[in-house]
Amino acid sequence: MKLKSWPFHLMLLPSLIFLLVFSYVPMAGIIMAFQNYKPWLGFTGSEWVGLDNFRYLFDRQDSMEVIWNTLFIAVFKILFNLAAPFLFAILLNEIRRNGLKRSIQTLVYLPHFLSWVILGGILLDILSTDGGFVNRMLGSAFGIEPIPFLMDGNWFRFTVILSDIWKEFGFGAIVFLAALSNVNPSLYEAAEVDGANRWKQTLHITVPALIPITVVVGTLALGNILNAGFDQIFNLYNPTVYEKGDIIDTFVYRTAIISGEMGFGTAIGLFKSVISLILILTSYRLAYKWANYRIF
């Protein structure tokens, strides 16, 4: 290490300590997945049960429901959070007035910076069946009975997916807009000289320019296929939608923290972590193969 660069390495020290304390030291708790863990007995005194917690995981009906719910919600989030920024970037790219373009960008970016604690409270209020703004509007405009957006499992899934798209699509469009900024303007000029209208220019220049980054974003998203959004679900769900809305992370919280089944909860978390690691490694391999993307 060069003498001049040591201050920059020193700046990394707090982050490395944070990573060590909160990401690596807790990994010692993985041993609980193989024990009938009791907090008052600790790691050394708790009964060793081997793979019983994992067998119990696959024997429980609600465990399979939770895994399916996680996959269902996560897959649709990935698909729509890929399609929505893609389309938005194309539409925004067609706006020629820079002031209007920046204003729209700012407005759609804002929800990304709001926590789900805040947005959850807003959604609980406006989607309420008892005087919520959305149901009042639907009732007055179309005569529709109040819809239980957050009290019915199927509506809950729809609400979770749609609200996540609304929150993230603007921020997700940044990478697509960055890709479009690298497109040579002379391509559009040449296409216009050849008689191509805006639609054909978009179809034959803009869309192909976005394909490589779309492949990268899509393949890397595979690593998060078991992350359906703990913060969002936790702030919106309730016992009436557990059957359709409970995901792995909230299930771990309820079983390990609320019910005290720490060994079983750790087994679920370890199962998810191993599958996620495999998917992340696979997604990086695919990104390198299809789009020549690599970290190192």
What confidence tens digit (pLDDT) does each residue in 108-159 have?
888 888 899 999 889 989 988 887 888 888 888 888 888 888 888 889 999 9
Q: How confident is the model at residue 258 (pLDDT cuts 50, 70, 90)?
A: confident
* Confidence at residue 197, expressed as pLDDT on a 0 to 100 scale: 84
Q: How many CB atoms lie within 10 A of CB 88?
A: 19
Mean pLDDT across the chain = 85
- Residue length of the chain: 296
Helix (H) or strand (E) holding 177, with range, is helix 174-181
Q: Is residue 8 part of a domain?
A: no
Query: Taking 70 as the threshold, does the pLDDT of residue 1 lie above it?
Result: no
Angle (deg, nearest 10), helices 98-109 and 61-93: 170
Q: Is residue 16 part of a domain?
A: no
Domain region containing 187: 41-291
* Confidence at residue 2, expressed as pLDDT on a 0 to 100 scale: 58
Angle (deg, nearest 10), helices 174-181 and 207-221: 140
Query: Taking 80 as the threshold, does the pLDDT of residue 77 lie above it?
Result: yes
Whole-structure pTM value: 0.84
Task: Give pLDDT tens digits for 174-221.
Answer: 889 888 888 888 888 888 888 888 888 888 888 888 888 888 888 778
* Confidence at residue 205, expressed as pLDDT on a 0 to 100 scale: 86
Q: Is residue 13 part of a domain?
A: no
Burial 144-158 (b: 16+ CB within 10 A, else e): eebbbbbebbebbbe
Q: Is residue 49 part of a domain?
A: yes
* Confidence at residue 268, expressed as pLDDT on a 0 to 100 scale: 87
Identify the residue whose tokens are 């996680």: 70
Q: Is residue 248 part of a domain?
A: yes
Q: Which tokens sit at 51?
A: 């793979």
Query: Taking 80 as the threshold, does the pLDDT of residue 291 lie above it?
Result: no
Identify the residue whose tokens are 């970037």: 89
- Comparing C-alpha atoms, which of 278, 50, 245, 71 is closest to residue 159? 245
Q: Which residues pair with 36 in a beta bridge?
A: 47
Q: How confident is the model at residue 161 (pLDDT cuts 50, 70, 90)?
A: very high
Q: How confident is the model at residue 296 (pLDDT cuts 50, 70, 90)?
A: low
Q: Is residue 6 part of a domain?
A: no
Q: Which tokens sit at 225?
A: 């296929």
Query: Taking 60 as the threshold, does the pLDDT of residue 248 lie above it?
Result: yes
Helix (H) or strand (E) holding 35, with range, is strand 35-36
Q: Is residue 26 part of a domain?
A: no
* Confidence at residue 93, expressed as pLDDT on a 0 to 100 scale: 84
CA distances from 78 to 112, 150, 168, 289 (A): 16, 21, 11, 20
Angle (deg, nearest 10), helices 61-93 and 207-221: 160
Is the Cα dihedral 199, 203, 205, 210 positive or negative?
Answer: positive
Q: Which tokens sit at 8?
A: 């920059």
Is the Cα dihedral 241, 243, 248, 253 positive or negative?
Answer: positive
Q: Is 237 helix (H, G, I), strand (E, B) or coil?
A: coil
CA 215 to chain centre: 17
Query: Taking 80 as the threshold, does the pLDDT of residue 292 lie above it?
Result: no
Task: Report the range of poorest mean pLDDT among 12-26, 97-111, 210-224.
Answer: 210-224
* Confidence at residue 187, expressed as pLDDT on a 0 to 100 scale: 84
Domain count, the chain: 1
Q: Is residue 214 part of a domain?
A: yes
Q: What CATH number should be reported for the domain holding residue 261? A: 1.10.3720.10
Q: Which tokens sit at 157?
A: 């899934």
* Confidence at residue 198, expressed as pLDDT on a 0 to 100 scale: 82
What is d(CA 228, CA 81) in angstroms, rounded to the nearest whole number? Answer: 12
* Confidence at residue 162, expressed as pLDDT on a 0 to 100 scale: 93
* Confidence at residue 274, expressed as pLDDT on a 0 to 100 scale: 87
86 within 8 A of 214, measured Cβ to Cβ:
yes
Q: How many CA within 13 A on the CB side of residue 175?
A: 18
- Comparing C-alpha atoms, which of 90, 92, 126 is closest to residue 109? 92
What is d(CA 246, CA 286) in angstroms, rounded to the nearest whole number? Answer: 30
